[in-house]
Amino acid sequence: MWLTAAAARRERGASEVPDAAAAGAAPPALIAPASPSSRPSSYDLPSLFRDVVFAPIHAAVQFWITSDLGRLVDGVINAVFGSYVIGNGSPGTAEDPDGGAAGWLLGDGGAGWNSTEDGHAGGDGGAAGLLGVGGAGGSGGVGAAGGDGGTGGRLLGIGGAGGRGGAGADGGAGGDAAALVLGIGGRGGDGGDGAQGGRGGNGGDGAAFLGSGGDGGDAGLSGIGGASTGLPALGGAGGTAGALGTHGDVGRSGRIVDGPASAGTAGSLSPVSTTGTWLTNSDGQVVILHGLNEVYKVAPYEPSASGFAADDAAFLAANGFTVVRLGIIWSAIEPEPGVYNTAYLASIDQTVQTLAEHGIYTIIDMHQDNYSEEFQGEGAPLWASDGGGRPNPSNGFPGNYFTNPAEQHAWDVFWDNAAAADGLGLQDHVTQTWQQVAAYFSGNTDIIGYEVINEPFSGSSWPADVLGSRFFGHQQLTPFYNQVIAAIRSVDSVTPVWIEPGNPAISEIPTVLGLPVRLGTIDDPNTVLSYHGYSGGIPVIGGFIVGRLASASRQYANRHDMPVFLTEFGATNDTSVITTEMRAGDRIRAGWVEWAYSGVGDVTGSPEVEWLVRDPAAAPVGDNVNAATLTTLAEPYAQTISGTPVSYAFADGTYDLTYSTERADGSGRFEPGARTYVSVPDLAFPDGYVVTVSGGQVVSAPDARILVIASGAAADTVHVVVSAAPAGG
């Protein structure tokens, strides 16, 4: 009700008040209404405080300011103090586009001028007083940006909405909330439609304590009035949250009327997507994948530079592995702000194709450790590595996370979406980088996932995270994931997006102590939870640690109806540790990739002990292969199941699989005779194997490396046991 009343207030001219531009003037609208396509904001504590406390006070103040008596009294007060104490800011004009500031005590900022001239931006909204709402930014003229919303009141207030961009131009940013008590950021302005649509404006940041961020504006459409030469425009980022508030939602991405085709290589493997809590292929069969990580952490950051090539892919396939988590590095993709290295993506594409030629899928992993090279790691470009002039000691990995003030500052400004040198936020840059990557690989079915970021760290707030705070996971990391996913979906609607909880350095202890995975709700149904399951090699309790990590991950995935996947474990040559960690993933029926295929170039790991293959530039034979690790990892497993897994395990030389013939999507059962394929590597049963089946039958040759089971007539459940052939048999 208070918004309706406020929007109906009268405009007053500058001549009606002394000294001030317009003591009784009110902006045309306090807060620009959300566009019909916008999602409703979460109802949180700041919203409740706004409606119960701020709204009636604000309505009373505005009633007073715009009344005849109020204008008379306020004029006297302003004259006595010799400054503008109470009153609304004047609206912008063509001659003076920006809205005027409100009185420093009470009042709303003036609205920015709505440009009527081509190439002229809308005016910025004026700042509110101690209590008030920032002025709305004006809309831009053709080809010009909308104005930014004004800052909300410094005690209680709401930032002004950003103005809509003119044709093909960006929306203005929502006003920040600088309030000491309550402050909600303004909504970003929508981008304008055009040959190249405008980007939505970012939402304003919430106040530090009782504050919520404004929602980002929606992007404009491209291909309107001319052919588009770029990617779809992106919605604005939501504003940051205060300690007791909620992060703003990302705006809706635009689209191109006739979008560009993918530059990448079309895939040769069957597509894999998500169906509820399972990965499935196009026939509806559940797909389980085992494999290795391959991340080259030094320039040029291309796995092929380490020597990883076709002989490595053939070696993996021969031992039953079907997936590689392949690292890409932000600094290699975007070496300068807004400059993208397509030659690097072409190199990655070639490795993806090489793997696919051997039946191996790829997870594209945007990898980082210690944020960037600036802090003895890899990941962000140097231009995005702001240490804030703080000490930058070399305490290694993971020591720098906890002890390096410069690195912690770099993370802090990243999560604040601080502007890079070109004025675009750091998170916005990563988002655009992911859009470039997804556009390049869109349509490539050899890729089964885009993993947004490896082991994200919270920065200087890490002690609170270790003690169980939800803020980082729910109000920083989850909104970032939603922003990146929106960008990916603007160019690729089908490839699953993989997300991780916070860095194990801050998430393992709370999870082991019984807290749930600290992530919020992801705004996309085609996502996978990626988790890391390191036990630290701790005797006795190592199994408990990885068991808790696995069960908490499965619980989150089940609640949010998504698959779960163990994307890192191992990093050691101790096969008892590898076995313990791997079994924890098996118990929750998760696929896995072990760390790592090779330690070459691993500047933040344990390259001397983590490798399966010592040097990818040499053939994977003889002492270039860790035979004990290979024997441990090359376990039997069902790769494709015509049904839904109930349980599976490989222990004491026996593989035991039970699956229901029920389809993963719940649409019924697979027909009798439907086939399930089980990888049985030679290393698992070097002298052959025997199979016992109930509810089905073996239809493959004896001792085949791929065991094929056909379900029996009217079978609801199939039980398969594979064990070593008896000696002399």
Beta strands in 167-298 (DSSP E): 182-184, 210-212, 272-275, 278-281, 286-287, 290-294
3 state DSSP class of 186: coil
Whether 179 and 211 have beta carbons less than 8 Å apart is answered as: yes
- For residue 439 the two structure tokens come to 């556009």
CA atoms of 228 and 246, how far apart (whole Å): 35
3 state DSSP class of 629: helix
CA atoms of 25 and 62, how far apart (whole Å): 10
Whether 477 and 455 have beta carbons less than 8 Å apart is answered as: no
Whether 140 and 147 have beta carbons less than 8 Å apart is answered as: yes
Respond yes or no: is residue 249 known to be catalytic: yes
Whether 686 and 302 have beta carbons less than 8 Å apart is answered as: no
- For residue 513 the two structure tokens come to 């102590």
CA atoms of 703 and 713, how far apart (whole Å): 25
Q: In what order do the strands lie in the sheet with 182-184?
A: 131-133, 156-158, 182-184, 210-212
Set 98, 190, 249, 386: catalytic member: 249
Residue 426's φ and ψ, nearest 5 degrees, are -65, -45
3 state DSSP class of 717: strand
Whether 570 and 607 have beta carbons less than 8 Å apart is answered as: no
Q: How far is CA 219 from CA 39, 255, 261, in A?
A: 14, 8, 21
- For residue 469 the two structure tokens come to 């705070």
Beta strands in 60-200 (DSSP E): 131-133, 156-158, 182-184
DSSP 259-289: PPPP-SPPP-SPPEEEETTEEEETTS-EE--
Active site residues: 249
